[in-house]
Each structure stands twice: as structure tokens, then as C-alpha cells.
Amino acid sequence: MSGEAVVLTGFLAAAIRISTPLLLAATGEMLNERAGVINLGVEGAMLAGALASALGAMEAGPWVGVLLAVAAGVLVSGVFAAVAIGARANQIITGTAVTLGAVGLTGAVYRTAFGASGPGLSLPTFASVPIPLLSAIPVVGPAVFNQPLLTYLAWLLIPAVGWFLFRSWWGLALRATGESIEAARASGVPARRVQVLATLAGGALAGVAGASLVLAQVGTFAEKMTAGRGFIAIAIVVLGRWHPGGVLLAALLFGGASALQFALQAAGLAAPYQLFLVLPYLLALAALAGGAGRSRQPAGLGK
Amino acid sequence: MSGQSLRATITAFVALGTGFLVLALGLAVAGYDPFLSMGALWRGAFGSWYALGSGTLVRAVPLIILGLGVALAFRAGAFNIGAEGQFYAGAIAATWVGLQVGTWPEPLAIGAVWAAAAAAGLAWVALPVLLKVKWGVLGVISTLLLNFVAEAVVSFAVTGPLQETQGVYPQSDPIADSARLPALAGSRLHLGLLLAVGLAFLLWWVFARRRAGFRLKAVGAGPLAAEISGRIPVKRVVAFALLFSGALAGLGGGVEISGVTYALFQNLSPGYGFTAIAVALLARLHPLGIVVTGLLFGALESGALGMQREAGVPAVAVQVAEAVIILVVLLADVLVRRAASRTPMPQEAA
Amino acid sequence: MSATAALELRGISKAFGSVQALHGADFSLAPGEVHALLGENGAGKSTLMHIAYGMTGPDRGTIRVRGALVSIRSPRVARALGIGMVHQHFTSIGALTVGENVALAIGRRSDGQSVRRTEIALPARLMEGLPIGARVDTLSVAQRQRLEIVKALATGATSLLLDEPSAVLAPSEVEELLALVREFTATGGSAVLITHKLPEVFKVADRVTVLRAGRVTLHAPVAGQTPVSLAEAMIGEAPVGHTAEVLGTTAPRATPAVVDAAPARPAVRVGGIDVMAGELVGIAAVLGNGQRELLRSIAVGRGTAFVPEDRTIEGLIGGMTVTENMVLGLDTDPRWSRGARLDWNAARTRTAELIERFGIRAPGPDAPAATLSGGNQQKVVLARALEQGPQVLVAENPTRGLDIKATVEIHDRLRAAAAQGVAVLVYSIDLDEVLELSQRVLVVHAGTVREAPKGADRRVVGEMMLGVRER
């Protein structure tokens, strides 16, 4: 392959790999937002999932790590659901508090288990799994079809969630709940239960996102390592207009923006690394500022 | 004490108690000695004059100021969860100005530092204000994102333009003497405490006696009625509330620089912006109450360090207690609302 | 009570907190009949039907469906028993399509193959003009109500409970609705028509049950009744004075206001038509014809006070005290504000005076507004509006949800305000209220305002509301 092709493939591969945790978390958040719940605790759920996956992987391998991550994500978002949906407290503050608590808890657990400073954990991670034939396609093949299994899972979720939302009755019930709880209830939809389940599903996916971050991207755990990815996921949902296909594209965009860092550095651009660090956040801000079609927002979001 | 104040106080105690209980239980589960840890927590906060003066009270100052800012926004139904980033913005501005005003007389220098800090905090919340006015609840996310951006800017500043002249450490030069706050001899307690308390009284007066304070409350408690029957420009009031809130948070950063650290470095804030939410909520947004809860949480933060020293418990664990406190206050509020159709907590304004 | 009654409620009692909404009420619906449930606001008719539909449970009493004793724990159970309800506030979701709303209503039993194209086997007449793929928020009010009926029938309702369905319709649309109901019962269905409008009872109902303050005062075939007998059963005495309120008679009966000196310039222009000081002008319109926007644009004008439709969300702030609510909109009034300062003692004193003057039942000026009853809350809103010393007062559905006593009080205050020289504009969804109160009637249709001819009756105004007639 030519030099440019190599760079391009590398860039695409990195973009997809980086976008995976974002995609997983955003898919989950899209589900609960479609049901009318905005969960700022997604950041905490992701971080909890990250730590859980590290601990699980250390003990029993990466897939156990993923399982524990799901449990952690469900637990964290379960606390959120109990307070914000069960007790109908304000969703924004509840989510913020949950994330605050999760950051404190994961930090405390990590330091207790591994000490305040020291070498990073070395964990068994997910290797890339090339899909035969497809991964041989020039340029695109090795990037798209040679990814860890979690990435394929994340991509397969998109049409599955799309079918669920727009072709099944429960998906219809979920969307109805997000538009108007009273109206949904009047049609016999158990609205609160739907919201809780959607939130737990979102938490599970956030947990997997954390696991993906640790076991398929970074390779280790560090305190506060999610660094706002959960919040970026929320911006991705907005940019994707609460639609599975849109969310996929938006997540890829963000992955690309982060991967740009490596491509530009490879091209010899001498800019402070903090600039690349803030790129995703600025992109998210831009998404919130311009990309949002407010009319697409579920009418009952946050109520 | 009126029924509402009594209920609020009881709620506060219940929330505090629950928070500590959860913390103690968690520590016990993790293998720490809960009694030793709690004792260490107490000693770290109140165990000595040093603990009290240079620990608790010093940490209370930014918490009170940021708490006031958060409460101001909350009262109007707007949630400022970007106080952390606004704090850093203020700290950056304060440092930069603090390095320039060496030849100025002290009151002027301090005034300039504080003004710059407040302006920076206000600027840092300006974009989210715009987004909130346009996109409502989702605008809140922008304040969170800007927290991370602010931290990155600090990182950039202290390894670049503001780095100390030796170029070795990721921190700024110490600010000029004239920009530093006078401190109580032998401790780290500085003039900022008077500012914090003064601001609390000012805000209390505005809330109770000024039309602006009334309008804030109306907008937070009933945005539609405020707009239609009160002829109040709701979006403008909310915007101003958020801008002043950011200014206060920025000021808190400036006070920290000019009173405690005298220089900028990373991780300046152990999460003041989020603890401030607990401070404001626990005090039910009452400015004078915030002085009390600010002191309480200052004690908590100071105690956490003591707990880490003595009992080996990671200081960050207290954030769990803080989160529990916030959640309990929210829950108590819901119960109150169900029982007596009062709404002490603002609803989110459009 | 026949054993083959489609629906039978016996001895139903229900209390909400300290308010006893129903005292041992009986109600039975025979198959194939249209049964009117009559009563003024607050009499308990909605509560009784909510119990029949499983939205709430009775404290005492039994329910039988086709003779079998049942316990209706939820609307789902009610629907399974063949009971359907068409509510006053529509329960369709605007962002979803007609088909999706129906599929949602049908529930998991629907062949959710493709929820957008649900096949519904229903009378073609019903589905006329109701496009399956259209988003509900693009439909008209009458269409949306049609959708509510479709939803009820699609879930297999044989007993249809209609809660004040004519409230949102123009007169000819009401005729269409009543015809639909008759057609439904002709094919074996049964219908309950909850209403407080006597003419409808005589037009379509076979039997009538009257509720007053939670008790059944009359239960008889419609044939043997007269408007007076029904009115008596509704309000407990031979109607005197407030006859028009109750009987829904059509002639405008308001006494003209006495104005000392009519100024040459109009107090306000409504869609190009002048209204002078001291006039009480009624606005008649079908929902969604621009009257709301028109009135609200007038209401923000200087010297104009506004009594908004939704007092609990737009008029008052429940969590604040009566005093604080009184200051709302008056926070620059020199009696309690100097510069940017607010003198709460002065405000409290004045509020106490107003409470006295308007006969507002409240524990005091520091009571939270949410603890007041609907009628008293509305009085606070009205008192505040008048306190602003306006030249123009705009009132939107000012007696919505109030019982007759409170309604009459509000009407008197509006008339008094006009007598004081305020130009009063009253919009009510209840055409009879508009005709009763006003000296002049302005009709809004598709954003255009036209004045109804003097002495125009209900039919004429109704036709103008639908744009069928221009004058």
C-alpha cells in the first residue's frame, strides 16, 4: 500500500476504535432519552464499568470483565433510576450527584486496591478480530473489519435498536413514554417501568462502553479516565437526533476528531497536545449549539 | 423557627447523617476501621487550631462563594454544574493579572485580581447561557463539557505561557505580593473568609428585600406564571442569574489564588464546583445557611485529608458521602412536595 | 337495575382527602342506549366515570359488567371488559402518527407487524378524513377527537364513556358527534354522555342520571323530563336568577353596563374592531382559530390585565404565598416598591384587604397559593388583575373547572369591572357562557374577527364560528 493509504487506514482504524465506547454509551443514552430520561449519571456508569472491567479482567479474563462492567453500569444507573424516576427527583441534579459519587467510589476503590500511585495495571485485553475476506478490502478493510469484537457488537446494536424502536410495539411504547407520560399511561403503557428499564439498559451499555475503553482501547485503568466521554455521548445523541443511524455517524465523527490528533502529529504539526485534547469537547459544544434539531427532541425529556 | 425552616433543618441533619453512615459502612466493607476513620475525619477538621483555621475555614471559603453562585442560579431554576470550570477560568485570569500588578497598591491589586477572576468566570458561562436559552435542558451539558476544557486550558497555561520562569514545574510563578490577601498570622486563614461571609449577607439581602431577588424566585418557582402574569422576561432573568453565578464561581477561583496558593497549577480544585452543589442544596439555597453548610463541607474536605493521613482512607471517598447527601436532600424534597404541595426546589426554567 | 345492564355501578362512594366526591351513587347503562350523566362542575360525574374506567377505585360500592361482578383496577382491565373512554383532554401523542396512536391503544395484542400501517376494521364514516400516516399534531381538534373514539372502539369498546365531548367543538361539529353516537348505539353499543348542557340531553339521550354534590338526584327516561326539572335536579332548587347559566338558553341576556362618560377613543381594538371602555365583549371561537394568539397579544399591552386560562401554571405560582402572588406583575407598584426595594409588610397588608374584599377563603396572606381551592385561586388572579387598574381586562376561560357558585361570583366581578369602566374581553370555550355574559359578541375564525349581529342566537354565532356565515 502507498504511504497515504497506510496513514488513511491507520486513521480510520483509530477513529473506529476510539468511537466504540462513545457509540455504546450514546446508544444506551439514546434509549433512555427516547423514553424521556436524561441521565447525566452515564459518565459515572461508564467509569464504574471501566473499573469493574479492569478488576474482572485481572481475575478472570476480559469477558468476565465485560460482565462485571455491565453489572456495575446497571447498579450505578439503578441508583439514578431509583431517585430520579422512582422518587421523581430532578434528573439533572440526580445524575450529577450519581456521577460525583461514582467518581469518588471508583477512586477510593482503586486506591485501596492498588495504592495511590504506581505502575498502571496490566490487563488481558481484547485483540482485534479480522473478518475473513472483508478485511482484505484495500484501505477500508483493515480499518473497518479488523476490530475487537466489542466494536462489531456496537455496530450490530444499531440496526437492532432501530428495529426495536420503530418496528416493535415496546419500542413504540418507549417512544410514546418519552413524548408524554400521561398519554402513554392512558394507552396502558407502564410508563415509569419503561423509563426504569430503558435507564438500566442505558446503564448496561455505558458499563460495556467503559469495558471497551479499558479492554479494547487504552489497555489499563486510571482514575477519572472517562474524562467526560459520558457527557460527550449525550452530545452525540443530540447530534444524531435521537436516531440510531444518526448516533452511529455522530460517534464516528467524534472518533475521527480524536484520531485526528494522531494523524496530525504524524504529519508533524507541532501544536500543544492540549489542543487535541479539547477537540472532542469543542466538537460536542458545536453539536449542541448547531446540530440539534430541537423539534426532534422527545417532548417529555427531563420531565 | 417556622415550620418550613424546621423541616429544612431536619432534612439537613438527616442528609448529613445518612451521608456519614453510608461512608462509614462503605469503609467498613472495604476493610478500614470505621471508627478510626471517622475519628480521623473529625480530627482533620476540628482537632486542632491549625486544622480549624488552616484546614476547615480555608476550604470553606471557595465552597461558600461557589455555593452562593450555584444557589443564585438554582433559585432561578437554572442548574449551574459548570462551576468547576468557571473556578478554573477565574484562577487563570487571577494568576495572569496577579503577575502584572506588582507595582500597584495592595487594595487596587487585589481588586483587579478579583475583578478579572469574576469576569473570567462570567465569560466561561456565557456560551452555556446562550445554549441554554436556545436548547433548554440540554444546554446544561455544555457547562459540563467546559469543565474539561478549562482543565485543559490550565494544563496548557502552566506548561506554556504562564509557566514559571525556570520552566521546570507545571505551575506559574507566584503572584506579586501586592496581589496576595492578608492572612491571619500563623495560619493560612485569609481575608477571603470576610469576603465570603459578606457576599452571603449581600445575597441574603437581595433575595429578601430586592425586586431582583423576588423575580429570581418567581422565575424559578413558576416560570410560566412569571412570564405571563408577572410580565417578567424569564429568559433574561435566567441568563443573568447564570452569568452572575459564573462570576461568583470565577471569583472563588481568584480568591483561592490570591489567598491560598498564590500560583496556578493543575488540580487546584478538589472538586469545589461539585461540592458547591451539595453546599447549596443542603442549605436549601439560603445564603446564610450556605455559610454554615460551606463550613461543614470545608470541614469534610479538611477532615478527608486527615483521614487519609491517619487511617489511610483515600480522601476522594468523601465524595461518596457528598453524593449521598445530595440525593437524600432531593428525596426529602420530593417527600415534602408530596406532603404539603409546596415547592422549595425550583423547577427548571424553559 | 336489570341483570343485563351493560354496565352497572351501585352504591359508589369516593373521597379525595377530606372531600367526599361521591355518596353512594348508583348508575346503570342499558345495552343500546345513550345515557346522559348530568351535573354541574364538581358534582362528581367525571369521578364516577373514572371509577367505571378503572382510573381510580371506589371506597365503597360494586360494579357489574353484563351482570357479572367485576373489579376494575385499571383502564386496561376496563378496556378488556369492553369499556372505552373518550376524555376531555385528548390522550394521543402529537409526534406519533394516527396509526401509531391506534396501535399503541390496541396494545400488544395488535399484530405489530408494522405498527405504522395498522389495519383497523371500523366504520368507514369514522375513519373519514383521518389519514393513517399523518402526525397527530397536524390534525384539527375535531379530527383528534375522532381519533380518540377510534382508539376506544379499536380496543373493542361496547360501552363508550364520553366526557364532555362537545366542550371543544363548534355547534355543527357537535351535531356530527351526536349523530355518530346514535349510530354507535343503533348497532348495539351503549354510550354514556357526560355533560352539563341540557340541550344535548334532549337531543340524543334515552335516559338521564343527574348528580348533585356527589349524590344521584334524578334517574329517569328523558322523555318525561323538562329543562326545568333537570335544572332543578342539578342545582337543588327551581332556578331563579341564574336561569340562563343553567338552562343554556340562547338569547344574550347580559345587562348593559352603565358608563358615566364614554370616551371617544376605543379602549382597545380587537382584530380591527373597536371596543370601548366599560363594554363587556365576548369572544366566541372554535379551538385553534387564532383567538388565543390574538387575545394574548392584546393581553401584553400596556394598561391591560390578563386572567389566563390555566390559573395553576400561568396565573399563580403554587409554591409562593398569596402575598407574593399578588406582587407578581405588580412588583413596581409604588405602594410597596421604592426603587428596587420591596416592602413586604405593605404588600401583606394590602393582600389581606383584597382577601377580605373579594371574599377569598384563605387562611391568610401568607398561605401558599396551592392550598386554595380553584374558585379562590381564580379570585386571587382576578383581584390582582383588577388591582393593576387596567383599562382593558382580558379573561380566558375564567370559570373553567369552577362550580356554579364560584362561576357566578366571577361573572359578577367581571360585570362589576365593566361597570367601573374597564373594557372587558371574555373568551370562553363555552358558547353559552359567552352569550350569557356579553353585550357584544366577536367571532374569531381563521384569524379574522367579525362582530355577530345584535341578538344573534346560538345557531347564528355557531355558523360564524365555523366560517359558514360571515354575518
- pTM for this model (two decimals): 0.86
For chain B positions 269-288, those within 8 Å of chain A (CB to CB) are: 271, 274, 277-278, 281
**Helix axes of B234-256 and B272-282: crossing angle, nearest 10 degrees:** 120
Give the phi and the psi of residue A38 in degrees, each rounded to 5. Answer: -100, 120
Amino acid at site B201: F
E strand residue ranges, B4-70: none
In which residue are the cell numbers 471508627 written?
B35
Residue C250 has pLDDT above 60, yes or no: no
| Cross-chain residue pair B210–C341, CB shorter than 8 Å | yes
**A167 and A24 in contact (C-beta within 8 Å)?**
no
Chains contacting A (3 or more CB pairs within 8 Å):
B, C
Q: How far is CA B18 from CA B22, B24, C257, in A?
A: 6, 10, 65
**B288 and B200 in contact (C-beta within 8 Å)?**
yes
Chains contacting C (3 or more CB pairs within 8 Å):
A, B
A52 touches chain C (CB under 8 A): no
- How many whole angstroms separate alpha carbon B111 and alpha carbon B144? 29
With cut-offs at 50, 70 and 90, classify the pLDDT of residue C464: confident
Q: Using CB atoms within 10 A of its CB, is residue B46 exposed (0-12), middle (13-18) or buried (19+)?
A: middle
**C290 and C444 in contact (C-beta within 8 Å)?**
yes
- In this prediction, residue B346 carries a pLDDT of 47
Q: Using CB atoms within 10 A of its CB, is residue B30 exposed (0-12), middle (13-18) or buried (19+)?
A: middle
Mean pLDDT of chain A: 90
DSSP run (H or E) holding C12: strand C7-16
In which residue are the cell numbers 462502553 written?
A209
- In this prediction, residue A204 carries a pLDDT of 98
What is the share, in percent, of chain C residues with pLDDT greater than 90?
43
Amino acid at site C465: M
Average pLDDT over residues B206-230: 94
Residue C451 has pLDDT above 80, yes or no: yes
- In this prediction, residue C231 carries a pLDDT of 78
Which range, A23-27, B311-315, C89-93, C210-214, is most confident? A23-27
At a CB cut-off of 8 Å and minimum separation 6, what does C406 contact?
C374, C375, C378, C379, C399
What torsion do the CA atoms of A260, A263, A265, A266 make, to the nearest 10 degrees?
180
**Model pLDDT for residues C35-46, shown as the tens digit of each residue:** 999 987 778 888
CA distance to partner chain B, nearest, from residue C381 (Å) = 9
Number of neighbours of residue C111 by Cβ within 10 angstroms: 11
- How many whole angstroms separate alpha carbon A62 and alpha carbon A55? 10
Mean pLDDT of chain C: 85
Give the phi and the psi of residue B38 in degrees, each rounded to 5. Answer: -65, -40
Q: How far is CA C211 from CA B66, C25, C89, C246, C249, in A?
A: 59, 8, 22, 14, 21
Residues of C in contact with A299 (CB under 8 A): 94-95
- In this prediction, residue C247 carries a pLDDT of 45
Indicate the DSSP class of residue C242: -
Which range, B154-158, C99-103, C282-286, is most confident? B154-158
With cut-offs at 50, 70 and 90, classify the pLDDT of residue C237: low
Average pLDDT over residues C157-186: 88
**Model pLDDT for residues C278-332, shown as the tens digit of each residue:** 999 999 987 778 889 999 999 988 899 999 999 999 999 988 999 999 999 898 8
DSSP conformation letters of B231-284? ---HHHHHHHHHHHHHHHHHHHHHHHIIIIISS-BTT--SSHHHHHHHHHHHTT
With cut-offs at 50, 70 and 90, classify the pLDDT of residue C246: very low
For chain A positions 177-196, those within 8 Å of chain C (CB to CB) are: 179-180, 182-184, 186-189
Average pLDDT over residues C458-471: 78
CA distance to partner chain A, nearest, from residue B263 (Å) = 20
| Cross-chain residue pair A108–B327, CB shorter than 8 Å | no
Average pLDDT over residues B256-263: 94
Average pLDDT over residues C197-212: 90
Q: For chain C, which domains are there?
A: 7-239 (3.40.50.300), 266-466 (3.40.50.300)
**Model pLDDT for residues C50-85, shown as the tens digit of each residue:** 999 998 999 999 999 998 999 999 888 898 899 999
With cut-offs at 50, 70 and 90, classify the pLDDT of residue C119: low
CA-based nearest residue to C335, from C347, C326, C323, C325: C347
Amino acid at site C415: R
- In this prediction, residue C243 carries a pLDDT of 43
For chain B positions 69-88, those within 8 Å of chain A (CB to CB) are: 79, 81
What is the share, in percent, of chain C residues with pLDDT greater than 70?
89
Residue C415 has pLDDT above 60, yes or no: yes
Cell of C433: 357562557
- How many whole angstroms separate alpha carbon C131 and alpha carbon C145? 14
CA distance to partner chain A, nearest, from residue B72 (Å) = 15
Average pLDDT over residues B302-307: 91
Average pLDDT over residues A221-250: 93
Cell of A96: 450529577
What is the share, in percent, of chain A residues with pLDDT greater than 90?
61
In which residue are the cell numbers 382580558 written?
C394
Give the phi and the psi of residue C14 in degrees, each rounded to 5. Answer: -150, 130
CA-based nearest residue to C225, from C247, C207, C244, C249: C207
- How many whole angstroms separate alpha carbon C43 and alpha carbon C37? 10
With cut-offs at 50, 70 and 90, classify the pLDDT of residue C118: very low
- How many whole angstroms separate alpha carbon C336 and alpha carbon A47? 54
- How many whole angstroms separate alpha carbon B138 and alpha carbon B3? 36
Cell of B160: 506554556
Strand partners, C424: C280, C393
With cut-offs at 50, 70 and 90, classify the pLDDT of residue C260: very low
**Model pLDDT for residues C386-399, shown as the tens digit of each residue:** 999 999 999 999 99
Number of Cα atoms under 13 Å in the Cβ half of residue C131: 8
| Cross-chain residue pair A234–B316, CB shorter than 8 Å | no
- How many whole angstroms separate alpha carbon A223 and alpha carbon C400? 58
Q: How far is CA C362 from CA B5, C17, C314, C373, in A?
A: 22, 18, 20, 9
DSSP run (H or E) holding C445: strand C440-445
Q: B184: helix, coil or strand?
A: coil
Residue A246 has pLDDT above 70, yes or no: yes
Which range, A57-71, A133-147, C72-86, C94-108, is most confident? A57-71
Q: C443: helix, coil or strand?
A: strand
Average pLDDT over residues B224-247: 94
Mutation target to probe the C interface, by most C beta carbons within 10 A, among B5, B7, B219, B228 is B228
With cut-offs at 50, 70 and 90, classify the pLDDT of residue B347: very low
With cut-offs at 50, 70 and 90, classify the pLDDT of residue B345: very low
CA-based nearest residue to A69, from A84, A49, A87: A49
CA-based nearest residue to C191, from C47, C11, C32: C32
| Domain boundaries of chain B, sorted by first residue | 3-339
- In this prediction, residue A295 carries a pLDDT of 59
For chain C positions 252-291, those within 8 Å of chain B (CB to CB) are: none
The residue in chain B having the minimum alpha-carbon distance to the alpha carbon of residue C329 is: B230
- Across A131-140, B268-277, B308-317, C159-168, least confident range: A131-140
In which residue are the cell numbers 464546583 written?
B273
CA-based nearest residue to A149, from A234, A201, A211, A68: A211
Mean pLDDT of chain B: 90
Give the phi and the psi of residue C191 in degrees, each rounded to 5. Answer: -135, 140
Mutation target to probe the C interface, by most C beta carbons within 10 A, among A187, A192, A242 is A187
Amino acid at site C355: I
Classify domain B3-339 at the CATH class level. Answer: mainly alpha
- How many whole angstroms separate alpha carbon C28 and alpha carbon A132? 72
- In this prediction, residue C294 carries a pLDDT of 92
CA-based nearest residue to B255, from B164, B175, B340: B175
Residue C259 has pLDDT above 50, yes or no: no
Residue C31 has pLDDT above 80, yes or no: yes
